[in-house]
Amino acid sequence: MQEQLKQLTLGLADVIYGKEQQIKLALCAMLARGHLLLEDLPGMGKTTLSHGLAQALGMSYQRIQFTSDLLPADILGASIFNTQEQRFSFHKGPVFSQVVLADEINRAGPKTQSALLEAMEEGCVSIDSERYTLPTPFFVVATQNPQHQSGTFPLPESQLDRFFMRLSLGFPPADAEKQLIRGHIPQRDKAIDAIISAEQLQAMQANVDKVTIANTVVDYILSLVTHTRHDKDISHPLSPRASIALAQGARAWAFMEGRDFVMPEDVQAVFASICDHRINPHDVYSQGSVCSDILARVKVPL
């Protein structure tokens, strides 16, 4: 299984240059059954990464372009009256896919943003008092532009907390950008052979659940989370949901490293990606610097 994950990482590295670490973290989120938020400037490869993930996993894929006039029904679907049968029938929206790209999610209004909450949390949607189950596995990749850009609606903390990880792709390395300048631009519609099936992904997710986590590592996670609750520089500390996410993310990372047990290094590898969007520091600190400071202050178990 680890060899398949390596092949998957290499396959995605062919369509998005110089971002192996971010690709690995995105796969970690999928293995942990979490949803992914990509925040960066336009043109950084956010859409390319999500589309490549869907292709490499052989899963159904839909892209929803969030705009200011997008309605919840445009995402979830709607009941339409059938004149021949004289009854309403439900027409499923694009959320009924295994991989859903919510592109520029913070350009839509809060009501439309919240339409994804039940889907992300429970794997189903409620329409006209009826509940409809979404396909499995179900994975949401949302992208958002920086909040200082015009025409954006910030995601509330309650919705940010639904995302397992937040990643920033950042600018490509100089050698990768040279390839882009020379015209070696990855084609977004370039076919990527399916390396792992949806069934194999579910089997991997089941194996991630079996990865053991020792009491010392549990105490380490608790110490990291507790530190945010007593730090005067943090106005919104980490909740128990973050503790659970840290443990599951560390299990997934250990599984990708070929181990059936979690080490403190696994927690450290996923800590910033899982926690920085959940922490709300005071203005003098950035979220990234707070996460680095917490890792430096909390004692690592031997």
- Beta strand 124-127 with 280-281: parallel, antiparallel or unpaired? unpaired
The confidence score (pLDDT) of residue 271 equals 95
pLDDT at 203: 92
C-alpha 40: how far from chain center: 14
Q: What is the pLDDT of residue 284?
A: 45
Consecutive sets of 10 residues in the chain, 302 residues long: mean pLDDT of each?
80 77 91 90 77 82 89 89 84 91 85 82 84 90 74 76 88 78 63 78 93 96 92 83 95 94 96 88 59 89 78
Q: How far is CA 215 from CA 7, 238, 254, 271, 301, in A?
A: 33, 20, 16, 18, 10
pTM, two decimals, is 0.86
Question: Residue 258: which region, alpha, beta or left (left: phi > 0; alpha: psi -120 to 50)?
Answer: left
Q: Output the CA–CA distances (angstroms, integers) from residue 152 to 27, 66, 89, 264, 276, in the order listed.
A: 28, 11, 34, 38, 20
How far apart are the C-alpha atoms of 177 and 200, rounded to whole Å? 34
